[in-house]
Amino acid sequence: MSSQLSVCLLSVSCVTFNGDIEVLRLTLSSLASSCAVARDQGLFRSISLYLIDNGPDGHNFYILSTLRDEFLSEFDSIIVETGHGNLGYGKGHNLAIMEARSDYHLILNPDVILDQDNISVALRYLGSNPQVGLLAPDAFGLHGERQYIAKRQPTAVLLAARALNSKWLNQALRARLDRYEYRDLLPASQPLQIELASGCYMFCRTVALQSISGFSPKFFMYFEDFDLSMRIQDNFLIVHHPQVKIIHAGGGASRKGLLHIYYFCQSFIKFIISRRF
């Protein structure tokens, strides 16, 4: 085993807003279990967990404080960042990203459940592949259905179709949507280089994140993960790893109501303008 792996430091950030304590408890429990497996294998020295309180009120902070006390023995440190209001997803994570003094940083949604071997597989792969800056997982839903969260570069038409979620439009664009979601190559048996990763789980080299100052402050919600993926590829590769497995309970802006559709469309326009595709 290389000394690089055995002495590495790990940090994790999780941004919460009006969170469900039971769902977040499942997320943290799976994270703790997966970290315990990796620690037993000598793959890292310590882990710092950042819980980011984006509000909307004191109840969210109460949830984080309760879980901090509950899981304190499972991590080397748990930092609750609070008092900043709702910064949005990316800027919330940036509080931890820019403060972290780690070798690897995991950006994690509060509705993601990690497989037991998740952390150990990720650390071994990144430790052996220095050209990779971001590792993306193989994702499944609550009922075992595959989620296609790796993406190719989109077009404005495809993003509009995703936002509208029209059955007729989805059928008309099925071949293009399938290629956009890597359905032509997934599931894969070997690690696969991809273009865009989902923000629900991004296992990154901390230096790769800090060199680009984390997420762009231009995005409040949606497309900040695509923007970060594009910027991180100036110096590193992004890889989907079939053995880095998660269960993801969230996703789908069109199913979350009008406010989320508004945020999606607003960020969609910013992404188009910034990338000019």
More confident residue, 257 or 217: 217
Instruction: Name the residue with higher pLDDT: 271 or 70.
Output: 70
Report the mean per-residue pLDDT for the chain. Answer: 90
32: pLDDT strictly greater than 50? yes
CB 62, CB 69: distance < 8 Å: no
Given a cut of 90, whether residue 222 has pLDDT beyond it is no
pLDDT (tens digit per residue) in 115-169 = 999 999 999 999 999 999 999 999 999 999 999 999 998 887 887 787 777 889 8
pLDDT at 1 over 80: no
Task: Give yes or no for residue 95 having a pLDDT over 90.
Answer: yes
Q: Where are the domains of the chain?
A: 3-154+191-253
Residue 188, pLDDT above cutoff 80: yes
pTM of the model: 0.90
The architecture CATH gives domain 3-154+191-253: Alpha-Beta Complex (3.90)
